[in-house]
């Protein structure tokens, strides 16, 4: 089983926090959306996360990350869901990796923005299809990336006029980490399949 052979449980260890160290673009005006979307041209795998203010009614922040770039869309400042962003979120040709995006969140997106996400995969569900048994996304980060997720800012003020550098780093890391874990799991699965093929296949001599 993948989970038994490839992952060493890290729950008992104190691990350093994981931080996204790539480029981050904070989008608060509609005319900046096109520049943000250009960051992801040609990308086939993206991390996607949502940060909802505590009251549950305010507009969410939407984070999208590639390996080295992240865009954070503040819908409360933009005022609406831009069409370019909508097309990316609904398309099925670009895989968007999420973590624990529940039915209530999907219902909010559908009700408030008439948005039905397309081309998404939950990284925890993906891990389970490979034989891993994570109890949470945070555990999966610890086991796969051998780092921990800093959750200290989860309940900070996401409606404040100016987000702090720590808040921006926090949500950029969230989006990047789901992609990083998915990419690492997929790579490990391919490597294991190739190793098994090499064992069972007769060697060829010229």
pLDDT in tens, 46-91: 999 999 887 666 789 999 999 999 999 999 999 999 999 999 999 9
Predicted TM-score (pTM) of this structure: 0.86
State residue 181 phi and psi, 5-degree precision: -65, -45
Distance CA 170, CA 26 (A): 13
CB 71 within 8 Å of CB 41: no
pLDDT digits (tens, 9 = 90+) for 101-112: 999 999 999 999
For residue range 3-30, list pLDDT tens digits in order. Answer: 444 555 555 568 999 999 999 999 999 9
Taken in order 180, 183, 186, 192, the sign of the CA dihedral is negative
């Amino acid at each position: 089983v993948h989970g038994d052979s490839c992952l060493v449980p890290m729950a008992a260890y104190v691990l350093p926090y994981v931080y996204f160290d790539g480029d981050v673009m904070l989008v608060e005006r509609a005319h900046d959306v096109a520049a943000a979307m250009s960051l992801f041209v040609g990308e086939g795998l993206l991390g996607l996360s949502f940060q909802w203010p505590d009251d549950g009614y305010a507009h969410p922040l939407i984070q999208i990350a590639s390996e080295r770039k992240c865009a954070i869309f503040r819908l409360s400042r933009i005022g609406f869901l831009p069409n370019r962003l909508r097309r990316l979120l609904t398309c099925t040709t670009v895989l968007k990796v999420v973590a624990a995006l529940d039915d209530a969140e999907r219902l909010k997106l559908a009700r408030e923005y008439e948005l039905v996400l397309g081309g998404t995969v939950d990284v925890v569900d993906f891990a389970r299809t490979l034989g891993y048994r994570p109890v949470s996304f945070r555990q999966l980060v610890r086991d796969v990336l051998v780092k921990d997720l800093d959750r200290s800012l989860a309940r900070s003020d996401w409606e404040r006029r100016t987000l702090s550098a720590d808040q921006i780093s926090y949500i950029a890391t969230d989006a990047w980490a789901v992609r990083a874990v998915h990419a690492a799991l997929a790579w490990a699965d391919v490597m294991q399949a190739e190793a098994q093929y090499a064992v069972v296949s007769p060697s060829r001599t010229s």
